[in-house]
Amino acid sequence: MWKIGDVEIDNRVVLAPMAGVCNSAFRLTVKEFGAGLVCAEMVSDKAILFNNPKTMNMLYIDENERPLSLQIFGGEKETLVEAAVYVDQNTTADIIDINMGCPVNKIIRCEAGARWLLDPNKIYEMVSAVTEKVSKPVTCKMRIGWDEDHIYAVENAKAAERAGAAAISLHGRTRVQMYEGHADWDIIKQVKEAVNIPVIGNGDVTSPELAQKMLDETGVDAVMIGREALGNPWMIYRTVHYLETGELMDEPTVKEKVEIALLHLRRLVELKGEKIGVMEMRKHASWYLKGVKGNGKARKALNQANTEQEMIDILQNFQAESTAATATQQA
């Protein structure tokens, strides 16, 4: 067990905040697979202040997800602070996270996200303004730098710490790298050695063994898993188990994949209604079937499904066909 501020976290595996993915349906499912902390997808400070209906729905938290970190982004101090105060006083989030790592242009143009990586002074100014006004612990999600010529990870982390941040999540890639190339764990190690607050390492943790390797090589307090958990919450469960016991558990069966996909579908429909829930589940369903032999026809059908029942039928039929094919091969 470790802590972010006064928030106790049971293990060293954290679900990354992924835009368009980390809604309550996904977070709750991953939480049930053992994540010590789950992070909500980023929300705009101005959208919160404008009471945007879609954004306000994104603030929904199921009590069973906690502890939970809710991430906000913005480029102006006044609106960022106001949004943080709203989250502090009107949601059950345990932690407020500030995004300073998002690499996409529309966020950069708002002077938000990874734009902050170029200016440690702005990081100090913005984070201190937030920490002074809220009671929940404030954390920062950042990248190592803008590009290979502007890597200010240590300076940025120290600025966040001085400003009152309770922890830092560090993705070992630059803004220019986006999600390509290799994550630089050496810089993550340098940051961990430079600050006295918890550091969560992020990037290239694609197996339980690599999670252990990151912990050993960098000294971080926890590992953050993002894309590897898409359609694969077993990655969370297997990693937690491996870190605690050294035992590597088997990959899930097709039956298990379909069962959790159906659970995820039901939760998405309950959360967002059938039309939007099914639309959003299309990508998740494909992720669940990724790597399963003979999945092409089912994945195509899932991407064209319009109702919950259609998706249920496609997934159940795929499971039956896969089971029958396996039995034939073993006979």
Residue 37, beta-bridge partner list: 14
Enumerate the known binding-site residues for FMN.
Answer: 17-19, 71, 141, 171, 226-227
Q: CB under 8 Å to 79, separation ≥6 — which residues?
A: 45, 46, 49
Interacting residues of 246 by C-beta distance below 8 A, sequence separation 6+: none
Residue 188 CA to residue 270 CA, distance in Å, equals 39
User: Of residues 39, 102, 110, 140, which has the active-site annotation?
Assistant: 102
Cα 130-131-134 angle, rounded to 5 deg:
85
CA–CA separation, 214 and 222 (whole Å): 9
Integer CA distances (angstroms), 6 to 66, 106, 135, 217, 291, in order: 14, 34, 11, 27, 41
Q: Which residues are annotated as a binding site?
A: 17-19, 71, 141, 171, 226-227
Strand pairing report for 167-174 and 199-202: parallel
Q: Is 240 exposed, middle or buried (0-12, 13-18, 19+ CB in 10 A)?
A: buried
Has 102 been annotated as catalytic?
yes
Q: Where in the sequence numbering do the catalytic residues fall? A: 102
